Amino acid sequence: MPLTLLGIGEKATITQLTGDTNLRLRLTELGFSLGKGIEIIQRAFGNHLIVRLENVRIALDRRMALHIQIHMLQEEAHVQ
């Protein structure tokens, strides 16, 4: 599923970078790579997402975020 479908505060793992070679290279230069954890911090400025990638916050255009495929992490069951 694309990163754009992740909700605020939800966490996921990057599974694939799609798009043309230049876009994949740019995403890699920004630190996006397979297996890294990612979290949506905020939806801002209309079509932008603020994400946390490890300990760094990055603003992404929604069009770029569509090319980051993720696997959503399941929350641990709470013991009552």
End-to-end CA distance of the chain: 32
In the chain, where the domains are located: 3-72
pLDDT score at 44: 85
Beta strands in the chain (DSSP E): 11-17, 37-44, 48-53, 56-61, 68-72
Q: Reduced to 3 states, what is the DSSP secondary structure of residue 45? A: coil
Is the dihedral angle over the CA atoms 24, 28, 33, 36 positive or is it negative? negative
Domain 3-72, CATH class in plain words:
mainly beta
Task: Provide the whole-model pTM.
Answer: 0.87
Flag residues of the chain having pLDDT under 70. Answer: 75-80
pLDDT per position as a tens digit, 33-51: 999 999 999 998 778 999 9
